Amino acid sequence: MGKIAFVFSGQGAQYSGMGKAMADASAAARATFAMADSIRPETSRQCFEGTAEELKETVNTQPCIFTADLAAAYALQESGITPDCVAGFSLGEIAALAFAKMLSDEEAFRLVCRRGELMDKAAKENPGAMVAVMKITPERTEEICARFGKTYPVNYNSPAQTVVATTAESRDAFCAAVKEAGGRAKPLAVSGAFHSPFMADAAAGLAAYMENVSFASPALPVYSDVTAKPYEGDYKELVRAQVESPVRWQQIVENMVADGVDTFIEVGVGKTLTGLITRICPDVRAFKAETPEDIEKIKA
């Protein structure tokens, strides 16, 4: 039997009620929400009852999804399912670091709260747009980006999907160029141009915050969004760089499979990563673990 990977979902999948079923059913999940509320008292309420408008604000989205992701991972662990390695998409990587004991849950939660504040501020001060490009290769997408100023591939999601950050002024012309090349371009409803140079100030602010944060060696491999390889070397630099660097999700999945993973479990909110994984490597098994019923299906 091959290895199991937990993968932690990122920003964009949030909805009112997320994590509640898991918290109702699992003592480990409840403890995670209690930890979050002890530091940021509104977290559980926002997850369970928050409005869509409230939850889409980055300062709320990031701590809420982090908590729901980590709660689901601990509920899975409580049920007897443990991973051999972990990874997280964007924000999800901070939850992966906590699960791998590189940071305590409290330290990771405080870090993600600061990360959300810094990215929200950078998005308002350096506004941009994001576009999902489909039906053409990442290489072709890169070629189109090169024709525009301040336009960058930022999420390498699958062989046929790359997300691009650009300026609001260039967005429509970029979408037209993608269509002309035979692809499909879908503008995304996001609050900033994440994982790009638009986030340079947020990355610098996070580096300053982490001067007083100590990282431990990972208890199990954590694959970095920046390198697509397990964390090694300067952990703080990888966390800082992740904010303004592309998420190399396709490469992470391919590297995990090459390292023996044949079962992926998306912990937390939504099923976006499950869909991407099955498109990247159709032969692996991919599950989502968002509710107690999902856990029962995985164990069956």
Tell how strand 161-166 and strand 152-158 pair up: antiparallel
Q: What pLDDT, on a 0 to 100 scale, did the predictor assign at position 95?
A: 98
Q: In the prediction, which pLDDT does 13 show?
A: 85
- Verify that 121 and 138 share a domain, yes or no: no
pLDDT at 238 over 80: yes
217 has catalytic annotation = no
> Is residue 191 over pLDDT 90?
no
Looking at the fold, whether 69 and 204 belong to one and the same domain comes out as yes
Same domain, residue pair 75 and 211: yes
CATH of the domain at 202: 3.40.366.10
Q: How many domains does the chain have?
A: 2
Residues 19 and 105 in one domain: yes
Q: Is the pLDDT of residue 1 over 70?
A: no
What tens digit of pLDDT does each residue of 156-169 get?
A: 999 999 999 999 99
Nearest to 243 by CA among 282, 209, 291, 293: 209
40 and 136 within one domain: no
Please give the mean pLDDT across all residues of the chain: 96
Boundary residue ending a domain (142, 170, 187): 187
Whole-model pTM: value is 0.96
pLDDT digits (tens, 9 = 90+) for 23-68: 999 999 999 999 999 999 999 999 999 999 999 999 999 999 999 9
Name 49's Cβ contacts closer than 8 Å, sequence gap at least 6: 16, 17
Mean pLDDT of 79-83: 97
Choose one of 138, 156, 187: the last residue of a domain. 187
Which structural domain, as residue segments, surrounds residue 87? 3-125+196-299
Residue 202 pLDDT more than 80?
yes
Residue 110 phi/psi, 5° resolution? -60, -40
Per-residue pLDDT tens over the stretch 204-226: 999 999 999 999 999 999 999 99
Residue 248 and residue 291 share a domain: yes
Does one domain contain both 30 and 106? yes
The CATH code of the domain that includes 179 is: 3.30.70.250
Residue 214 shares a structural domain with residue 81: yes
Shared domain check, 201 and 53: yes
Catalytic position from the list 158, 195, 196, 224: 195
Same domain, 108 and 244: yes
- Residue 115 in contact with residue 35, Cβ under 8 Å? no
State the average pLDDT over residues 250-254: 98
Quick check: 112 pLDDT over 80?
yes
9, 90, 158, 170: the catalytic one is 90
**What is residue 300's predicted lDDT score, i.e. its pLDDT?**
81
Task: Decide: 63 and 40 in contact? Cβ < 8 Å.
Answer: yes
* Helices 200-209, 105-125: crossing angle, 10 deg rounding: 150
pLDDT above 70 (res 135): yes
Give the strands of the sheet with 285-289, arranged side by side. 222-223, 85-88, 3-8, 261-267, 285-289
The CA distance from 206 to 285, in Å, is 36
| 145 and 20 part of one domain | no
Quick check: is 104 catalytic? Answer: no
Specify whether 173 is located in the same domain as 134: yes
